[in-house]
Structures are given as structure tokens and as C-alpha cells.
Structure 1
Amino acid sequence: MQYTHLGRSGLQVSRLCLGTMNFGPQTEESAAQAIMDSAHGAGINFFDTANVYGGTEHRGWTEEIIGRWFAKGGERRERTVLATKLYGTMTDRPNESKLSALNIRRALDASLKRLQTDYIDIYQFHHVDRNTPWDEIWQAIEVAVQQGKILYSGSSNLAGWHIAQAQEAATRRNYTGLISEQSIYNLLTRNVELEVIPAAQQYGLGIIPWSPLHGGLLGGVLKKERDGVRRLEGRAAETLRNHHDQIREYEDFAEELGHEPGDVALAWLLHQPAVTAPIIGPRTQEQLDAAVRALDVPLNEDALKRLDAIFPGHRTAPEDYAW
């Protein structure tokens, strides 16, 4: 396993992050715990979750599964860099969502209880809260740090100017601010290259891409359809129709390289500026094993240029739209 620092922090994390969103609703508990054990066995020390994971009828379910896994001992907690998130609505009561100081306090304590731990390594804002000032957010986070309940702060789904706003507010308070940003980022969806990645580089945030295979569209979907393994419906099927020629060319190129398409997609992300660790969300042991293979996929300059030709990206702002 390869390790790197998360953003400008001294925290070392694996170059793959285990996403746990499927644990509970799609992956039953014993299988989820086996996947987490296998992730540790492969050297993955970086796990990501959120307080709302588990579905609308059982929010917090995923954190509970992880907590029971930690409780089994064997230094499972000590070997894990744990990231969770808050923002989403947990109940229909006021002040049980978003980033008010009150919800930060309540949500953090509830996550700690479900996770059966006394601290969270990276506490992340799942979305921007336009109605809560950053000074209030940072004051609440500073208190949690002083209490020893969290070590670092991160964000998810922020725009570049949100990152700048957050970091400038933190600087005024002599606080570290954010060390990471989770964004959707893959060969098909490269909008973060416009302003989010430049902002992350400027302020020293590590990018943690979610949906690295774009819901499976970059994981060999055409081959799977030909083999009768998978058939897409709804929005995914529409996206495939709109990008059919690109994806076919991509799968053909992956075959030229001698690697599976999903491995190439993950390896490409690991070559992108500011990217720390793509989030992999395996539902099965086989999917975990496949993701780990990506670390051994070499992509030279010619291969990277070919992928850019198939899936054109963005030059950084303002160059992409100013001239």
C-alpha cells in the first residue's frame, strides 16, 4: 500500500479510502466487517462514513456497524484514520441538520456514540451551509478540538470560493481550517478542475474524489452489458447513451493497456494534482480486491494524454473561460 499526507497536514493516509455508504442497506453487517478487515489487511487505513448513511429509515446505521467492528478490538480503531460527516437531516426536529454550533455539538456526540470511539480523526461538512457564518462553525469546531473529540476538519461538495471563504475565516481566528475536500471527480466529471482543485492547491487541501467510477460507467459497463452481467436503467442508462462512443473508446484503450477499465480510472485519479485518495465503495470482497489492483497500474505521459483526449478536462480558472 502507498501512503501520503492528507493535504498540508502531517496525517498519513492510504492512497485508497474505504467508503462505507453501502454498509447496512446493501451490504449486510458480517460482510461489511469482513470487508473492513480485508481493507486493513491490504494496508488501507483511511475509512470514510457519514452520520446519515444507512437510509432514510435508519440514519446512523452505517456508523453503528463500524462502531461494533471497532468494539471487537484487535487495534481496529487504532489502525484506522476515521472520517465522518455531518449536515444531513437526522430527525424532523429543528436544529438537527446543517452546521449550526448546536447541531455540530449534538451531531458529533451522536456519531461518537454510534462509532464507539472517543474521537474522530477528520470531521467533515457534508455540504456548505449558506445560513451559518464560518465564524460560528469554526468556533464550534475549535471547542471540539479542545475537548479532544476531533483532530482535523474537512469538507465535501464545496465550491472553490466556499473553500476560500472557509480558509480565510479560519486564518482570521488563527485556526488550521480545512485539510481536505471531498468532491465528485472522475474521467467523466471534471468540473472541479476549474476552481476547486486550484483552491485546494492554494490552501493545502487534499482532494478525496467520490464516485471515481461514475456509478460504474467507468468500470467496464459495455463489456458487462455484452456479457449479460449488468444492465443500466434510469439516469445511468441515459448517461451511457450520451457518452457511449467515449466509453467504448475508453474500454478499448484499457484493453490495449492490458488492464480493467475500473483500474485505469482509479489510477488516472491518482495522477491528478492535489488528489490524496479516491473513495472506493465496495459492496463485496471482489470489488475491494479489484480496487487495490489500481495501485499497480502504470500510466505514462502518453497514456494520460490519450485519456485526456477521450475525456477532455478543464484548464484551471480563469484560463478555461477567460481566453
Structure 2
Amino acid sequence: MKYTQLGRTGLKVSRLVLGTMNFGPQTDEPTSHGILDAALSAGLNFVDTANVYGWGENKGRTEEIVGTWFAQGGGRRDKTVLATKVYGNMAGDGATVWPNHDRLSAVNIRRAVDASLKRLQTDYIDIYQFHHIDRHTPFEEIWQAIDVLVQQGKILYAASSNFPGYKIAQANELAKAHGRVGLVSEQCLYNLAERRAEMEVIPAAQEYGLGVIPWSPLHGGLLGGVLKKESEGKRRKDGRSASALERTEVREQVKAYEDLLDKHGLEPGEVALAWLLTRPGVTGPIVGPRTQEQLDSALRALELELSEELLASLDEIFPGSGPSPEAFAW
């Protein structure tokens, strides 16, 4: 396994992040535990989850599955860099939604972290991530709440997810003014087919020393050999990739991608991950395997060396917008 520093911190993390969003909704607890064990055996030490995972009436279920895995002992918790998230309301579908039970107020952060710690069966969270921006809560309040959690030993670092570049700057400028560490990583939507993060988010993260953790590296399956699966009758008939392929230009783009990699004898999903590992500022993409086979495929991506010729060809197929302001101005 290859490791790197998480942004400007001294924390060492694997270059792949094990995402757990499928644990519970699509992958049962024994299989989830098997994937976690296999990942840890391979040296993958970075596990990402969120309090709302499990969804609907089962919000929190994913954290519970990770918690029962930690409870098995064997050094599992000590070897794991654990990241979870706060923002969404934890009320199940149809339940009464009370005010102050979501977003990033000090009262909800306090409530949410204690509930996550209980579900995760641990006494601390390594990286506590804000799942979305909160336009109604000032960062003065947010950082004060985080200070308390750090002092109590409940979290070690704070981080962001789905933040625009200006919010990363705002958060860290205020943190710096008060001698705080600030945000240490940003988890954003970023992949070959969706490169808008290169305009503002990734430059801001690099400027402030945040590690970049891309989510949806296969863009909902679109970059995972979707047309080949379609020809074999294995493609899902709903979801992001299904709707995207209804657009002729997207289908042609994906076909060019798959044809290129077929010529090189490479697997599309593994190349999509390997490409992210070549990008400036990227700590490691989140992989969310539903099966052991999917985990094995993700691990193989770490060994891929993409040639300059292939990287140039990928840029031709998926050019992206480029950095700002050149992306929209001279």
C-alpha cells in the first residue's frame, strides 16, 4: 500500500479511501466486515463514513456496522484513520423533523458527534467532516464548537465536504486568525467526466494545504466499463450512468474512453482511479465496493502506471474546464 500525508498535517493515510456508503443499504453486515478486514489486510487504513449513511429509516446504520467491526478488536480501531460527517437531519422518513437537529450549529455538532461516537463504538473520530456548507451558521460558532470537541478528545481534525473554493478560504482564514488548524481536507465530486473542481475547489485546497479526497471516482459507474456491461446484459437500468447515457454526446465520449482502454488492455474503472492518483493535490479517491471483487479491482489501480501518451488521450476525451479564471476569461 502507498501512503501520503493528509494535506499539511502529519497524518499518514493510504492513497485509497474505503467508502462505506453501501454498507447496510446494499451490502449486509458480514460482507461489510469482510471488506473492511480485506482492506485493512491490504494496508488501506483510511475509512470514510457519515452519520446519515443507511438512509431513510436506517440513517446511522452504516456507522453501526463500522462500530461492530471495531468492537471485534484485533487493533482494528487503532490501525484505522476514521472519518465521518455531520450536517444532515437524522430523523427517518416520515418522522418529525425538529429544528436544531441538522446543519452546523454548535448544538447540533455537539449532539451529532456524541451520537456518531456511540454508533461507531469508539471514543474519538480522527477526521470530522462538514458534509455541506451551512449558510446560516457563522464559522466563528462552528470553530468554537470544534475547539471544544478537540479539547475533549472527541475529534482530532476538522474537514469539509462539498465546499466551494471561497468557503474553504473563508473557513481557513478565520481559523488562522485565531491560531486554529482549520480544515485539513476537502471531499469533493471529482473524476475524469466531472472536472469542475479543478476550477476553484482544488486550487483553494492546495493553497490552504488541504488534502483532496474525490468522491464518485467512477462517476456513478459511467467510467467503470458501463457500455461493455450493457452489451453483456449486466448494466443497471437506473441510476446516474443510465440517465447520462441517454445523451448522445455522453455515450460517444464513454465509447471513446472504453475503446481507448481496450486498445491498451486496461480496465476502465482501474484507469479512472489511477488517473485521479496522478492529479495535483489529490490524497486519494474514495472507493465504495459492494463486493470483495470490487475492492480487489480498486487495489489493482494503485499499481497502474499511466503513460504520458495515455494521459494526453484521456485529456482529449475528457478535457475539463481548466483552472479559473482562464476557464471563463482570457
TM-score (norm 2): 0.96
Q: Deviations over 1:122-166 (max 9, x none)?
A: 000000000000010000001100111110111000000010111
Q: 1:306 aligns with which of 304, 313, 325?
A: 313
Match of 1:64 in 2: 64
Map 1:272-283 onto structure 2 (within 5 A): 272-283=279-290
Which of residues 163, 172, 197 in structure 1 aligns to 2:168? Answer: 163
User: Residue 21 of structure 2 aligns with which residue?
Assistant: 21
Partner of 2:137 in structure 1? 132
Aligned residue for 1:322, secondary structure, equals: coil
> How far apart, CA to CA, are the structure 1 residues paired with 2:65 and 2:169?
35
Q: Is 2:146 the counterpart of 1:144?
A: no
Pairing partner for 2:229 from 203, 221, 224: 224
C-alpha contact (below 8 Å) 1:259/1:297 kept by paired residues: no
User: CA offset at residue 258 of structure 1?
Assistant: 1.7
In structure 2, C-alpha distance between the alignment counterparts of 1:21 and 1:233, rounded to whole Å: 18
1:101 aligns with 2:98: no
Superposition deviation, residue 253 in structure 1: 1.1
Q: Give 1:173's aligned amino acid.
A: H
Q: Return the letter of the residue paired with 2:83.
A: A
How far residue 237 of structure 1 moved from its aligned partner, in angstroms, is 2.0
Check whether the contact 2:186–2:210 (CA below 8 A) recurs between aligned residues: yes
DSSP-derived class of the 1:237 partner: helix
Residue 234 of structure 1: CA displacement?
Answer: 5.6
Q: Secondary structure at the match of 1:143?
A: helix
* Alpha-carbon distance in 2 for matches of 1:320, 1:232: 35
**TM superposition shift of 1:58:** 1.3
Letter in 2 for 1:60: G
User: 2: distance between equivalents of 1:259 and 1:144?
Assistant: 46
Shift of residue 238, structure 1, vs aligned partner: 2.6
- Report the identity percentage: 65
Query: What residue identity is the alignment partner of 2:216?
Result: S
Equivalenced residues, count: 323
Kept in 1, the 8 Å contact 2:64–2:119? The answer is: yes
Contact 2:63 2:116 in 1 (8 A): yes
Please point out which of 258, 262, 286 is paired with 1:251.
Answer: 258
Per the alignment, residue 73 of structure 1 pairs with: 73
Deviations 1:47-76 (A, max 9, x none): 000000111101110111111110000000
In 2, the alpha carbon distance for the partners of 1:29 and 1:286 equals 17
Determine if the alignment matches structure 1 residue 296 to structure 2 residue 282. Answer: no
Is contact 2:220–2:239 with CA below 8 Å preserved after alignment?
no
Ranges in structure 2 where 5+ consecutive residues have no aligned partner: 92-96
Deviates more, 1:280-289 or 1:234-243: 234-243
> Residue 274 of structure 2 aligns with which residue?
267
SS of 2:311's equivalent in the other structure is helix
CA RMSD, 1 decimal: 0.9
- Summarize the Cα distance change of 1:158–1:261 in structure 2 as closer, same or farther, 3 Å threshold: same
TM-score, normalising length from structure 1?
0.98
- In the TM superposition, residue 312 of structure 1 has moved relative to its aligned partner by 0.8
Residues of 2 paired with 1:233 and 1:53: CA distance?
Answer: 20
Q: How far apart are the structure 2 equivalents of 1:31 and 1:89?
A: 28
d(CA) in 1 for partners of 2:264, 2:239: 31
Tell me, yes or no, if the aligned pair for 1:179 and 1:206 is still in contact at 8 Å. Answer: yes
- 1:151 partner SS: strand
Contact 2:220–2:240, Cα closer than 8 Å, also in 1: no
Residues 259-294 of structure 1: per-residue CA shift (max 9 Å, x gap) = 100000000000011100100000011110011010
Question: Is contact 2:321-2:327 (8 Å) kept?
Answer: yes
Q: Distance in 2 between matches of 1:110 and 1:211?
A: 26
Using the alignment, how far apart are the partners of 2:237 and 2:226 within structure 1? Answer: 9
User: d(CA) in 2 for partners of 1:232 and 1:161?
Assistant: 38
SS in 2 for 1:241: coil
Aligned residue type for 2:116? S
Alignment-derived partner of residue 36 in structure 1:
36
Runs of 4 or more consecutive aligned structure 1 residues displaced over 3 Å after TM superposition: none
AA partner of residue 206 (structure 2)? Q
Task: Give 3-state SS (helix, strand or coil) of 2:108's partner.
Answer: helix
Question: What SS is found at the alignment partner of 2:171?
Answer: helix
SS of the aligned residue for 1:123 comes to strand
Instruction: Identify the range of structure 1 (271-280 vs 255-264) with the bigger mean alpha-carbon deviation.
Output: 255-264
